A and B are shown apart, each in its own frame.
Chain A
């Protein structure tokens, strides 16, 4: 008998299992292939815009994706440096072999995690409560179950006119679980994604491509552990392009692609943000070329991933396409591109804590909820793990709000709006982007990590030290005044800043957009870590905008605080518009704020609903 069974050993499953272990729960992680734990079946990179922030959020809560990525990266980059403080993020090229090895090591560190190889086929349920799972051979009992099945449910690999039941990269698919979920009342949706070919790096002519190097300073996802690594050993990526010849091959053969007539039975929906190369050519007809990034899969492996060339053409057309590209003329394809179709559930059937509404103590996380991406999976995995433990301990659910974390935005979007195509986090999905920065993930979330005992003493100490230093320097900037003398004004003029008329604190001076923190060293020696400086600079410079965002967020929170009691019959509420009745009955929002975000529910419906709730509370 376990406390928690996690089904699936991907990025969601690993986070869920490890965080549950930190809750001192007896955990069983069931995966179809222990040697393929924490696979990166698509791009060999972690992070990116918004996603990179999620990695830091998971880390701040006590998760592992950040640390393992730091241990396994072969190139780190900081994105959007020039675009502003709230959109910067890290991205790492990952050595896939190393990442999987490090994650397995991490799992094995926790003695209360049992790794089991097997394929979950059915759930054991009593009185609408989960009791365990069945694999092909055995039954496993647990008080809570977290399903993180990725793209494995009834997965089909599509290449040209062939459809083959298979998990990604020839892994075993899960054949029965999704039908059994359907029997329990889950809405099954069919989604699709794809991956490009991998080619042999020894056959690529990198000399004719553009080199893309990593950052020139050490960067770490982890909020607690700053690794120094050898910048000279950072591996490069390379940029090449499609060309008119490539496009001609694609157009001439378009009906051979699975998605353009190669297969007649496509019912799944692919991601809008990740179109295949044939989609790009057909939809953006006038574009002369498309970027392709060549990314190493690992140090040992000869494989190079061609980002931008995802396709479902038959292999002979793939050969033609790849060989038409500059630098790849003579290359050998090691694995071919494919599209993959898989089952997921409608995430509107989940509560905000990722527990299913249908079955108590059954949680879901990752691609089964209609998302895509390792980071999105990890974010859900840790939340499902924490909430499963809180359920077992009979404690209040842990729900991150939209102004607290991208994870909060992600989960709220999923359970409130549902998905049409695989969901990817974008900065534009967050209303309070300026609050959800890369630099302040720990300030936003580490107190939760501390509260639930998910951070070790050392980590808490590091975090508290950071806050202390930040306060100290903030205070110093406020206390240090400079006067409008000739020397100061000449210095400011050199920095293209206006002259001083009155004395001014360094704090206020820093608010000028042209004055960088480093420029203040003239008056005050700021010998703090880069991390502290970054936090300080953003915090001071954008104070006004941040306050504005906080004020907006407070407005939203007011509605968020009003809980909607369970079991409301919306059809009995007078004056509610019919569309609102239907949507509210389906989604069963838990707060007025959530109800407000459901499309088709209007402000007048919210007003009526609030009246009704109040009445219920008063027993009228």
Chain B
């Protein structure tokens, strides 16, 4: 039986909706486990269902799920496609949940490979897809390489090395049983090693999960004097993204409060509280507060009123903003201009009117231009490989836990070694360094054997 695989079928960061495809015998069962809505197991083939992806009790994303039963599917296996609406984070979260529930992460091209192997697509079709996959794989490799330059990679490699040594050591014990002068790897020694390795990998796992790698998206602030149209701008942006804005529960006001997806560019809105309040209560955001926000932000939208002269506070802020990714949004261009444009030299300026949809589009274009597509794609690939690495890491830790329970059940070294080898293999997939001969080489390099 082939394993059930899951993967993001659409390029992340491009398009507001991303599709996660799940294929294999268990596809419907697994998705059903993490889905609130109707019972997918009873769903007819080729039907679409509305509901939520959940992790435990928590709703992760609002989704549409397509159920396609074998054999009339892309892979000729049972296929479930989840249309995620929540942007990259929710998509990856959903993928993670699938992997935690028994799916294997699809290798690049694996759906097509299955489609082909199961006789679903013919040569010409497959070749076309393969071309695409090949180029994707190259990007993936580059991204994986970049990501793995860092200290995380070194740390994973260090643990893998420990496992390699341990396995080689056990192999020597097995293949040269009479060489008593080589220290015997006991169950106890395995236990100690496994505990240490697991602890270290758990740290890496937590760090990766919490870290920047997962929290992709551009931290954005909208600032400006009272009544310049900040909330109108926000509302227009939200208008376009009605289904996509999600309040992340439990975050403090300082952190991300909502997400906007502008044709694939994700904006994490920081501190919108002040803006929202302006609806019923005028609240002045002081220069000090604005400067603080600028520090935190990766993109600053500074809104100015076309109809007013720039005051000293605004001028101060403009100076600060120039050093960062910023857009000075001149609102109310339908009114008479009072702004001295000279004071905005060297700044990114977009003139809009929140009443005119077309003018707002200019702002969106500007944002997309600033964070150009290629850059985003690179970023997302880093993200994707990182989601993959994290999934692999998660699996590794699960195997280490299995080993611990086998140790508790007094299983012999031989049996434990089989799972150690699985750990070694998974870690190798993360760093891209697994090759079978390695253990044997290690064996001969480090131990003195002979007849």
Query: Chain A: residues with CB nearer than 8 A to chain B?
Result: 42-43, 49-50, 79-80, 82-87, 196, 212, 272-277, 279-280, 283-284, 287, 289-291, 293, 307-308, 310, 426-429, 433-434, 512-514, 542, 545, 549, 551, 554-555, 558, 562, 574-575, 599, 603-604, 607-608, 610-612, 614-615, 618, 620
Contact = CB atoms under 8 A, between A and B. Distances in A.
B439 interface: yes
B418 A433 contact: yes
B445 to A, nearest CB: 9
A42 B450 CA distance: 13
A573 B215 CA distance: 41
B292 interface: no
Contact of B414 (A83, A196, A513, A514): A83
A520 B173 CA distance: 31
B176 interface: yes
B26 to A, nearest CB: 13
Contacts of A599: 435, 437
A433 B414 CA distance: 9
B345 interface: no
B367 interface: no
Identify the interface centre among B112, B126, B412: most chain A CB within 10 Å of its CB.
B412
B381 to A, nearest CB: 16
A608 B130 contact: yes
B137 A604 contact: yes
Given A276-B450, A429-B440, A620-B122, A83 B174 contact: yes
Interface string B196-236: 00000000000000000000000000000000000000000
A607 B451 contact: no
Given A433-B418, A434-B415, A603-B107, A291 B181 contact: yes
B329 interface: no
A427 B168 CA distance: 11
Nearest to B180: A291
Contacts of B116: 607, 610-611, 614
B5 to A, nearest CB: 12
In order of increasing CB-CB distance, the 6 nearest A-B pairs are: A84-B414, A615-B123, A84-B412, A272-B444, A428-B171, A513-B410
Interface string B173-201: 11111111100000000000000000000
Contact of A274 (B410, B418, B450): B450
A552 to B, nearest CB: 9
B71 interface: no
A275 B450 contact: yes
Contacts of B107: 603
B130 A607 contact: yes
Identify the interface centre among B134, B173, B410: most chain A CB within 10 Å of its CB.
B134
Contacts of B126: 611, 614-615
A183 B451 CA distance: 36
B166 to A, nearest CB: 12
Contacts of B171: 426-428
Interface of B: 1-3, 107-109, 112-113, 116-117, 119, 122-124, 126-127, 130-131, 133-134, 137, 167, 171, 173-181, 409-415, 418, 435, 437, 439-440, 443-444, 448-451
B94 to A, nearest CB: 25
A610 B113 contact: yes
A611 B127 contact: yes
Contact of A427 (B113, B137, B174): B174
Contact of A293 (B109, B130, B178, B448): B178
Contact of B418 (A283, A290, A429, A545): A545
Nearest to A599: B435
A549 B418 contact: yes
A197 to B, nearest CB: 13
Given A542-B415, A603-B107, A604-B134, A610 B117 contact: yes
Contact of A289 (B124, B174, B181): B181
Interface of B is mostly: helix
B422 to A, nearest CB: 9
A608 B108 CA distance: 12
Contacts of B440: 426, 428-429
A615 B122 contact: yes
A333 to B, nearest CB: 18
A175 B154 CA distance: 53
Contact of B451 (A79, A274, A289, A615): A274
Contact of B178 (A291, A551, A604): A291
B414 A428 contact: no
Given A513-B409, A615-B123, A49 B451 contact: no
Identify the interface centre among B2, B122, B130, B133: most chain A CB within 10 Å of its CB.
B130
A574 B413 CA distance: 47
15 contacts: A84-B415, A85-B415, A212-B178, A275-B450, A279-B450, A290-B181, A291-B178, A427-B174, A575-B130, A575-B131, A604-B108, A607-B133, A611-B127, A614-B126, A620-B123
Contact of A275 (B123, B167, B437, B448): B448
Nearest to A88: B414
Given A575-B130, A607-B133, A611-B116, A427 B175 contact: yes
A427 B170 CA distance: 11
B145 to A, nearest CB: 15
Contacts of A558: 2, 117
A230 to B, nearest CB: 24
B451 A83 contact: no
Given A428-B171, A608-B130, A615-B122, A291 B414 contact: no
Contacts of A429: 440
A618 B122 contact: yes
B412 A291 contact: no
Given A291-B180, A604-B108, A275 B173 contact: no
A586 B137 CA distance: 26
A611 B409 CA distance: 46
B174 A428 contact: yes
Contact of B175 (A49, A513, A549): A49
Given A574-B127, A603-B107, A274 B449 contact: yes
A287 B448 contact: yes
Given A83-B174, A307-B451, A610-B117, A618 B414 contact: no
Contacts of A84: 411-415
Given A427-B174, A428-B440, A603-B107, A310 B130 contact: no
A593 to B, nearest CB: 12
B412 A85 contact: yes
A82 B412 CA distance: 7
Identify the interface centre among A87, A290, A558, A620: most chain B CB within 10 Å of its CB.
A87
B448 A513 contact: no
A284 B182 CA distance: 13
Contacts of A434: 415, 418
B2 A555 contact: yes
B448 A290 contact: yes
Contacts of B137: 604
A186 to B, nearest CB: 25
Contact of B109 (A272, A604, A614): A604
Nearest to A433: B418
Nearest to B110: A607
B2 A284 contact: no
Contacts of B174: 49, 80, 83, 87, 427-428
B241 to A, nearest CB: 37
B177 A554 contact: no
B439 A607 contact: no
Given A79-B177, A607-B113, 10 more contacts: A84-B413, A272-B444, A277-B450, A287-B448, A290-B450, A310-B451, A426-B171, A599-B435, A608-B134, A614-B119
Contacts of A290: 181, 448, 450
Contacts of A512: 409
A205 B77 CA distance: 72
A549 B179 CA distance: 29
A596 to B, nearest CB: 12
B134 A575 contact: yes
A156 to B, nearest CB: 20
